[in-house]
Amino acid sequence: MGLGALAMGVRGALLLSVQNEFQVSNSELGLTAPAVMIGFTTAVLTVGMATGRINIRQFSLLGAGLRFLSLILVGFSPFFFLLLGFFIISGFSGGLLMALGGPILSHMYSKRRGWIFNRYEMVWAIGAASGPLLAGLVLGFGSWRLVYLFLGLGFIPLFLLFWRIRLPLSIKQERVLSLKDLKSLGKHPAVFGMALGTAANAGVEGSFFTWLAYYMNQYFPQSIAILIFAGYLMAYIPGRFICGRLSEKVGYANLILFNSVITVFLLFLALVVTSGATMVACILAIGFIISGNQPTLLAIGMNARPEHSGPINGIARSASALGISLFSALIGIIADLSSLQSGMQLLIFLMIATCVIIFAIRRKVTN
């Protein structure tokens, strides 16, 4: 989880360097997130649906090995569209690993899913926050390509660790998904609401992951813009720690709804009203507040149908990937047609949609 997040954090921080290298437009640059998410969604959805009948250890080894190879190839890409192809492979390998982590933890911590998923995603936040710092450090003495070479090497020890993996026995309780079960999952209000809420919320988070450093570069030097992006991601660490504790006390839906309402207000301040230091403070606050939404949404879905935690995890991760890829690309298009600020202001309406979705399903949610 941490290494995958590191790769994501690096990608957003290096957008300007990639644009300068390949001389591409904002619309083309916006395709980097969808490229990763196409591969990610394919893997996380197919593997998630088959969790009850696959060899988890073998698929974990495949994911780690393929991630190593794909990141090395990203670093050697001579053309932009070849780079996108390697991003697809990298996303696919990351999806293999992500599809398996959630179900395993769901069975290990069946009584505290909100708590464990916020902790799990807190590790993601540590990795993601380290990405811009790694990028800034390497850019100080070398090419952006070196960043991906270092990242790829990081998956070698992970591959070796998977040789010794021991799975919880309760993972055998995972049921194989039938067509009837799939239809039932789709009709469950908590699962359906989780998927919609995750897509809308991920549209906000993913667009920040992709565009924030680039957007901040309009107001600050690149080095400062990267630090602001790193600060935004660092705010996820205490945010998810606190949300993990609060989720079991105030209720999953109540926590998400409160976070989302506050985030709407902060987005409006950051993208419409303020500038300079106040804008930066609002952006850091958004990272802290919004951080607990995605893991708590996942806990809502898992609690609704714990015997199908693999497919639920696949649905949630796919919805997240859809939100990230769709709205990150849309912001790039709006930036070319109008301005990047206009594109970023779309996020205010996405967060309002998240509020409406959670308000509609909150009576159907069990903690």
Concatenating the DSSP letter of every residue in 264-287 gives HHHHHIIIII--HHHHHHHHHHHH
What does the DSSP 8-state code read for residue 177? P
CATH 1.20.1250.20 for domain 2-166+180-364, yes or no, is yes
More reliable by pLDDT, 127 or 173: 127
Residue 316: its pLDDT value, please?
87
pLDDT in tens, 311-355: 888 888 888 888 988 898 899 899 888 888 899 999 999 999 999
Res. 92: pLDDT tops 90? yes
pTM for this structure?
A: 0.77
Residue 283: its pLDDT value, please?
96
Res. 173: pLDDT tops 70? no
* Residue 367's pLDDT band (cuts 50, 70, 90): low
Could you tell me if 361 and 187 are in contact, meaning their C-beta atoms sit under 8 angstroms apart?
A: no
Nearest alpha-carbon partner for 295 in 95, 46, 101, 21: 101
* Residue 366's pLDDT band (cuts 50, 70, 90): low
Mean pLDDT rounded to a whole number for the chain: 86
pLDDT in tens, 96-143: 888 888 777 877 787 788 788 888 888 888 888 888 888 888 988 889
pLDDT in tens, 142-151: 899 999 999 9
Residue 107: its pLDDT value, please?
74
Could you tell me if 312 and 265 are in contact, meaning their C-beta atoms sit under 8 angstroms apart?
A: no
pLDDT in tens, 241-300: 898 888 888 888 999 999 999 999 999 999 999 889 999 999 999 999 999 999 899 888
Could you tell me if 315 and 228 are in contact, meaning their C-beta atoms sit under 8 angstroms apart?
A: no
